[in-house]
């Protein structure tokens, strides 16, 4: 049986540590598979996406394609359909392990208020996961008001406590989730937790609990491997993988 191909589809992903993560896991479980990076420019996406879907056992999807790729997927999981974005594909079915990772992380804390920076696929996953915790307030900040309003309108179908804000400074929240890759100046110190999804930068030490981009990548990546191969990774292996990636990256 030939080696199984899997990989990450996105734009500007050459520095992604995802291959390190997944190939370590496949080696540990003796899975004959290889995880690669599939970097596509937006202008080439529609021409090449079907080939990647047909020639890979599984795919992860990152910016800016988490919503765009849905039209090429046969079926969506219940969560992915609700969110309107996917990041994991197997057998033509789209899943959202960002959403599952956010649920796993956020459920450990008492979250009454949250600020989300961004309104793309990751922000959608975060906000829908948050809504299930019934917070008193979810604030959305995004440079594109139209995109933010679309997310807010979708969220209000299940949670009415969602608002758009125009200014980040001085916002008082329990949790701050930063999903955007560009640097944005803000003066927010969340009381409980700061999550920064961007693995190429060092998360600001602005809260007593920090989940940085590598921590989150590992959380959602292992959930993808569970979908593809029905495996569960214990804490000792996760600790080793985390340390290995941080040394290698």
* Rounded-to-integer distance, Cα 133 and Cα 109, Å: 10
Provide mean pLDDT across the span 210-229.
Answer: 96
pLDDT, position 1: 64
Q: What's phi and psi for 204, nearest 5 deg?
A: -65, 140
Quickly list DSSP for the chain. -PPEEEEEEESS-TT--HHHHHHHHHHHTT--EEEEEEE--HHHHHHHHHHHHHT-SEEEE-TT-TTGGGGG-SEE-HHHHHHT--SEEETTEEE-HHHHHHHHHHTTS--SEEEEE--SHHHHHHHHHHHTT--SEEEEE-S-HHHHHHHHHHHTTT-S-EEE-S--TT---SEEEE--SS--------SSEEEE--TTSPPP--SSSEE-HHHHHHHHHHHHHHHHH-----HHHHHHHHHHHHHH-
pLDDT, position 170: 80
Q: Given a cut of 90, is residue 169 above it in pLDDT?
A: no
CA dihedral for 160, 166, 171, 173, sign (positive or negative): positive
Provide mean pLDDT across the span 139-166.
Answer: 88
Provide mean pLDDT across the span 45-70.
Answer: 94
Tell me if the domain spanning 4-97+215-248 has CATH number 2.40.40.20: no
Q: How far is CA 151 from CA 82, 154, 183, 239, in A?
A: 12, 5, 22, 35
4-97+215-248 and 101-211 in the same fold: yes
Q: Given a cut of 90, is residue 145 above it in pLDDT?
A: no
Q: Given a cut of 70, is residue 74 above it in pLDDT?
A: yes
**Residue 248 pLDDT class (50, 70, 90 cuts):** confident
101-211 maps to which CATH number?
3.40.50.720
| Residues in a beta bridge with 211 | 195
Q: Given a cut of 80, is residue 249 above it in pLDDT?
A: no
Provide mean pLDDT across the span 153-175.
Answer: 87
Closest CA to 72 of 9, 150, 118: 9
Asked whether 96 and 73 are in contact (CB, 8 A), the reply is: no
**Residue 182 pLDDT class (50, 70, 90 cuts):** confident
- pLDDT one-digit tens code per residue, 101-115: 999 999 999 999 999
Closest CA to 164 of 144, 178, 149: 149
**Residue 209 pLDDT class (50, 70, 90 cuts):** very high
Catalytically annotated residues = 66
**Residue 157 pLDDT class (50, 70, 90 cuts):** confident
Peptide bond into 64 cis (omega under 30): yes
Q: Given a cut of 80, is residue 159 above it in pLDDT?
A: no
Closest CA to 112 of 137, 132, 140, 141: 137
HSE of 131, CA atoms in CB hemisphere, 13 A? 23
Would you list the domain boundaries of the chain?
A: 4-97+215-248, 101-211
Mean of pLDDT over the chain: 93
Provide mean pLDDT across the span 134-142.
Answer: 91
Percentage of the chain lying above the pLDDT 90 cut: 78
């Amino acid at each position: 049986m030939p080696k199984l191909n899997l990989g990450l589809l996105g734009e500007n992903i050459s520095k992604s540590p995802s291959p390190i993560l997944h190939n370590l896991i496949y080696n540990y479980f003796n899975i004959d598979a290889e995880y690669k990076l599939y970097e596509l420019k937006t202008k080439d996406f529609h021409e090449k996406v079907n080939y990647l879907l047909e020639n890979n056992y599984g795919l992860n999807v990152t910016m800016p394609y988490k919503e765009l790729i849905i039209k090429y997927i046969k079926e969506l999981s219940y969560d992915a359909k609700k969110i309107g974005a996917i990041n994991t594909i197997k057998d033509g079915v789209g899943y959202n392990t960002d959403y599952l990772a956010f649920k796993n992380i956020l459920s450990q804390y008492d979250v009454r208020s949250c600020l989300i920076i961004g309104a793309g696929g990751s922000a959608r996953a975060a906000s829908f996961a948050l809504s299930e915790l019934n917070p008193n307030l979810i604030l959305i900040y995004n440079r594109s008001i139209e995109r933010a309003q679309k997310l807010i309108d979708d969220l209000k179908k299940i949670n009415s406590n969602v608002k758009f804000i125009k200014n980040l400074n001085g916002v008082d929240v329990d949790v701050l989730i930063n999903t955007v890759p560009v640097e944005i100046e803000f003066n927010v110190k969340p009381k409980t937790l700061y999550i920064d999804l961007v693995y190429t930068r060092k998360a600001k030490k602005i809260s007593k609990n920090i989940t940085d981009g590598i921590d989150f990548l590992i959380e959602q990546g292992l959930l993808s491997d569970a979908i593809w191969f029905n495996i569960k990774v214990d804490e000792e292996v996760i600790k080793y993988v985390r340390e290995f990636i941080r040394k290698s990256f």
